[in-house]
Structure 1
Amino acid sequence: DGSTFKPSYLNVPGTKPLSALTIGQLMDIAVEKWKDREAIVSIYQGHRFTYSQVLDMADRLAASLMQMGMKHGDRLGIFGPNSSDWYISRLAAARGGFIAVQLDPAYQAPQLEFSINKVEIKVLISTEFYKSNNCYSLIQTVVPELKNCSQVGAELTCSKVPSLKRIIMMSDKPYRGTYRLNDVINSAHPELVKKIRDEQCLIQPDDGCAIQFSSGTTGTPKGALLSHHNLVNNGYEYGKGILLMNYKDSKIALSTQFCHTSASLGGIIASLWFGSTSVLPCPVFDGLKVLEGIIKEGCTHMLATPSLCVDMISKAKENGLKVTTLKCAAYGGAPCPQKLIMDFKETLNIEHLIPIYGMTEICFAFVARPEDSLQQRTTTVGHPIDHCEVKIVDKDGQMVPIGQPGELWIRGYNVMLEYWDDKEKTSQFISPDRWGKTGDQFVLLEDGTAKIVGRVKDMIIRIADNIFPAEMEEFFIQHPDILECQVFGVPDPKVGEEICAVLRLRDGVKLTEHDIKEYCKDKLPDYRIPRYICFIKDFPRSAIGKIQRSKVLEDVKKELGIK
């Protein structure tokens, strides 16, 4: 009956018009308002930089990159964990009109090589180390020519990655064939610095500004291209959503990586809008260091995922730490149990819990509103952001009634421009009328909030990473002794979901869990290595020989004692 059918559709028009600023212009405005306020504090590096210092360093780096041959639209790769160097490199790309390629610091050589080639990175700025990765050695695998370079800093000819011309290390130590970041910043020509400042108006809001790779394990990650318009407006909504404007001198503790949507939007763009200070307690998440950083700096805000919540609760209790300054904690990246989030609120004395939802291709799309109840905040992802349409559809793309599950589609300024150089995958994600198909299963409720109920394509959400079983399965099948493979996400209270690989080996072959993990070691980022490895003689199959995934998952959970 058409008169009673309430479609799962919402359009939030917004009260503030969209902005036509670029990130570079937003930086100029931030410096006018807050030039002496600290923009970034990297506790572990001992760095504290004000807004005016950040702008000065970003412009000098942009000018030196221009001197090295970078032009508008060229790709600048940034490879490393959170640091003040990463922050300044990202802003330098925006000021120079370059596209920042935000590479995951956990990449091994195959993913790094693929990414450089896919988007044709011209200059790579890299850290020295990330966890157990020696990043220079890793780069040498991709650029073997570095071994033959006699001097520090030179234009390179790279057979495996032909687009790559120069490598800059975030280090004071000289590395063969590379430049040191501080030398590059300090050697900027004053005339070129002036040119960078004078030409901000030539960069257009719809120009590409960042490429973020979605997950990939077999050399097939997709590079989502985002514009200044996407990020500037989405950063404003993010800052507004996490209530930055309510607190003077807000400080955001960042514990997720800048290469992901949440930290780059919340820690960089939102801060420029509201004059907040981004605080980096440590390069790799460590619950104790994050807590100590929050206490030391008096942080008012933090961004969290379920696994971070679990770790911080236990570290706060073990060490008797009392947090008194946290006003708001935004959390997302994986389904978060209600009990866990309530425990988090209580342990860290958090005034406001703010659920958020987003993904690489649509940036940030849902957030709680100030008037939402605690029940809404702990069971939903909040409401759609301003200037955004959402609908929930069935498998044929038809809207379902309110309260019925279906796939979430989103339309608005926050949807990416495209997957870089991949028309086919872009058209699979963006419909002809610009709806972005998230692949996430949602329910839209009567009160305008929404719940995630599952993944349309069995996607595994581990911490803030989206992992697709099919790509993992393709990777395992490359092993000569593995005949068939099925990969699942199994519930885990700390990281949302853990990866479980179920393997059928060739007849007569014996492999152990240890053998499989060793095989993964240098080929996959550490968070992609399955926590659980199970072996199976044969898979249960349907009448037409199709593997019955639900039956396999049921048996695996029983075997592992997981509910």
Structure 2
Amino acid sequence: MASSDTLTGHRSIAHLLRDRAIDHADRIAVREGDRETSVRDLHDAARRMARALIAGGIEPGDFVVCWAPNITRWVIAAHAAWMAGAVLMPLSTRLKAREVGPLLEATGAKLLVTVGECAGTRLIDIVKAAYGAGTDRPFERLPAVRRIVRLDEDSSSAPGEVGFADFLASGEGVSDADLDAVIAGIDGDMLAEVMFTSGSTGAPKGVQLSHGQLMRAYRDWADVAALRAGDVYLVIPPFSHGFGLNAGILASAERGMTMVLMDIFDPARALDLILRHGITVASGPPNLYLALLDQRARTGAEVTTMRVCFIGAASVPMELLRRVRVELGVRRAINAYGLIEGCVVSMTRADDPEDVVSTTTGRPMDGVEVRIVDDENRPVPQGQTGEIVMRGYNVMQGYWGEPELTAAAIDADGWLHSGDIGLLEEHGCIRIVDRKKDMFTCGGFNVYPAEVENLLLSSGLMSAVSVVGVADRRLGEVGVAFVIPHPGSDVTAEALTAWARENMANYKVPRTFVLGTELPLNANGKVAKDVLRTSARQYSDAGQA
């Protein structure tokens, strides 16, 4: 488990926010459309909301759930929850009622902070349809939820609901001294967040993260990236995701950066925001940058302000690194590795050559130990593949209410088992091979889709590719490759098959190549492998490898 010795100089996130509000009071904290909010105004609003939380019966350790898109009031709610000593629990707006309800029940959440509608879905209404509308509380069959705070309304007359402005006003009976007394009682060992995993490998699990480990992890992340006060950060990942919340809201507050909010990635709008606001920092997977580069090429726009970009992937094509440097003016591209249960694990450094950034996720962070182990949990020789395990302050406090799952993930010696397959290079950098769950077996050989994807990209015949495994009667499983050819390309599936057979082991060659114009993406801009697996089923047992 993580230690309380986090070396950040602040007792809690609440203390950090208080000090940074003094340091950066007049800077712009958030830009949302044409609206600007200064650090001072953000901090004042968060204190008002924290007082309202206390007035509404929220005590340190209680859960405050935020289920909303990336808007300024989400940022205020996060700051307020941390100030009140509450446990912030973000939920993706893509979740449906039958996914949200069990999480509210499991945590006993008292307060739901949300909006009426998001991307065409009426969030509150779908939960009421599933769990019944209450008379004095929001939901009949979710009795723990006492109140809904509407971020999109200043007032609300619906049972159990209150508008944002009215909620802030309800805290006037709690003094600043009362709030300061609560803040004084918060320390680094207290829970700051419970982040629920996507549930792609089973029921969602609540990852518990403390104030201390989050402060250290994202201070070190910002230090390695040389982020600084005055940077303008295009925040695309949703706040419901660990990176959006912690590398977005927390790191921006700690460093004095301006967040420019974007709820759903659109390359045309992203380029407009970069040009209009002088974006200096951005983050996203390779396909996001490819779309942005294509948009820039179409418009002929000149990008001059981009200083740092995070391109998180097991492997980043060298050509992409060259293009972001030449066409977007990026001075430093960074690859990194992290997971909800382990915060930030590794990053490439400023002195790393481009091939290291392309093929590895860099060296472990200070205070984080990394090993590669076999299926018997024995360390393997340097350069040999195995499961990536880690130990240090970064390791989660466990899964909420799941001691058996926690024990399965963190062994008796404190090593967190990631489920990722990788190896340690001679220079100490981590090379990610694949996820255990993405690996499939073809004719008795393990096939790692990320490795196959990297080989295919090296052909120069495509701009993007994603590989999944499907059942095969003879070989057990075979690969299906979903390919996005370069614009104007006349490449065929037959040509790709021929190239693959010439350049990789036969068991790695995808059985089927499916050419298209785009890959399905999840809320974080990453390829939605589950959608591709469903689509790939139609190609099961089709022909011979």
TM-score (norm 2): 0.79
SS of the residue 1:264 aligns to: helix
1:304-343 paired onto structure 2 within 5 Å: 304-332=284-312, 335-343=315-323
1:10 matched residue in structure 2: none
RMSD: 3.0
Letter in 1 for 2:535: I
Residues 18, 233 of structure 1: 8 Å contact kept: yes
Residues 442, 450 of structure 1: 8 Å contact kept: yes
In structure 2, the CA distance between the partners of 1:335 and 1:204, relative to structure 1 (3 Å rule), is same
Q: Deviations over 1:230-273 (max 9, x none)?
A: 1111110111122103xx51111111111112222221222222
Pairing 1:87–2:75 present: yes
Further displaced range: 157-166 or 203-212:
157-166
1:154-553 paired onto structure 2 within 5 Å: 155-156=136-137, 158-172=139-153, 174=156, 176-177=158-159, 178-189=161-172, 191-216=174-199, 220-245=203-228, 248-280=229-261, 282-332=262-312, 335-458=315-438, 530-531=531-532, 532-534=534-536
2:443 matched residue in structure 1: none
Letter in 1 for 2:145: L
Residues 236, 269 of structure 1: 8 Å contact kept: no
* Superposed displacement of residue 107, structure 1: 0.4
SS of the residue 1:313 aligns to: helix
Residues 59, 197 of structure 1: 8 Å contact kept: no
Q: Which has the higher contact order (CA 8 A, sep 6+)?
A: 1
User: What is the rounded CA distance, in whole Å, between the counterparts of 2:58 and 2:478 in structure 1?
Assistant: 42
* Superposed displacement of residue 536, structure 1: 6.4
User: What is the rounded CA distance, in whole Å, between the counterparts of 1:317 and 1:432 in structure 2?
Assistant: 53
Pairing 1:31–2:21 present: yes
Further displaced range: 101-110 or 179-188:
179-188
In structure 2, the CA distance between the partners of 1:219 and 1:383, relative to structure 1 (3 Å rule), is closer
Residues 55, 170 of structure 2: 8 Å contact kept: no
Q: Deviations over 1:20-74 (max 9, x none)?
A: 531100001101211111111112xx32111121111111111111111111100
User: What is the rounded CA distance, in whole Å, between the counterparts of 1:303 and 1:53 in structure 2?
Assistant: 26
User: What is the rounded CA distance, in whole Å, between the counterparts of 2:157 and 2:69 in structure 1?
Assistant: 19
Residues 10, 16 of structure 2: 8 Å contact kept: no
In structure 2, the CA distance between the partners of 1:183 and 1:395, relative to structure 1 (3 Å rule), is same
* Superposed displacement of residue 164, structure 1: 1.0
1:22 to 9, 12, 16: 12
1:127 to 99, 115, 118: 115
* Superposed displacement of residue 535, structure 1: 5.1
**Structure 2: runs of 5+ lacking an equivalent:** 1-5, 440-448, 454-467, 486-526
* Superposed displacement of residue 340, structure 1: 3.2
User: What is the rounded CA distance, in whole Å, between the counterparts of 1:37 and 1:437 in structure 2?
Assistant: 41
* Superposed displacement of residue 188, structure 1: 2.2
2:96 to 108, 111, 116: 108
User: What is the rounded CA distance, in whole Å, between the counterparts of 2:35 and 2:241 in structure 1?
Assistant: 22
In structure 2, the CA distance between the partners of 1:273 and 1:488, relative to structure 1 (3 Å rule), is farther
Residues 239, 271 of structure 1: 8 Å contact kept: no
* Superposed displacement of residue 364, structure 1: 1.2
In structure 2, the CA distance between the partners of 1:53 and 1:96, relative to structure 1 (3 Å rule), is same
User: What is the rounded CA distance, in whole Å, between the counterparts of 1:50 and 1:97 in structure 2?
Assistant: 23
In structure 2, the CA distance between the partners of 1:390 and 1:20, relative to structure 1 (3 Å rule), is farther
SS of the residue 2:209 aligns to: strand
In structure 2, the CA distance between the partners of 1:206 and 1:487, relative to structure 1 (3 Å rule), is farther
Letter in 2 for 1:39: A
User: What is the rounded CA distance, in whole Å, between the counterparts of 1:22 and 1:42 in structure 2?
Assistant: 27
In structure 2, the CA distance between the partners of 1:492 and 1:421, relative to structure 1 (3 Å rule), is farther
* Superposed displacement of residue 218, structure 1: 9.3
User: What is the rounded CA distance, in whole Å, between the counterparts of 2:320 and 2:24 in structure 1?
Assistant: 37
Letter in 2 for 1:249: G
User: What is the rounded CA distance, in whole Å, between the counterparts of 1:286 and 1:536 in structure 2?
Assistant: 30
SS of the residue 1:273 aligns to: helix
User: What is the rounded CA distance, in whole Å, between the counterparts of 2:484 and 2:325 in structure 1?
Assistant: 16
Residues 314, 433 of structure 2: 8 Å contact kept: no
Letter in 1 for 2:401: D
Pairing 1:73–2:58 present: no
User: What is the rounded CA distance, in whole Å, between the counterparts of 1:364 and 1:422 in structure 2?
Assistant: 23
In structure 2, the CA distance between the partners of 1:215 and 1:490, relative to structure 1 (3 Å rule), is farther
Further displaced range: 113-122 or 392-401:
113-122
Task: State the aligned residue count.
Answer: 467
* Identity score, percent: 26
Letter in 2 for 1:107: L
SS of the residue 1:130 aligns to: coil
Residues 7, 216 of structure 2: 8 Å contact kept: no
* Superposed displacement of residue 339, structure 1: 2.9
Q: Deviations over 1:387-427 (max 9, x none)?
A: 11111111111111111111111111111101100111111
Letter in 2 for 1:530: V
SS of the residue 1:438 aligns to: strand
Further displaced range: 406-415 or 334-343:
334-343
Residues 74, 122 of structure 1: 8 Å contact kept: yes
* Superposed displacement of residue 158, structure 1: 3.5
User: What is the rounded CA distance, in whole Å, between the counterparts of 1:452 and 1:166 in structure 2?
Assistant: 44
**Structure 1: runs of 5+ lacking an equivalent:** 1-15, 150-154, 463-468, 474-484, 495-525, 538-551
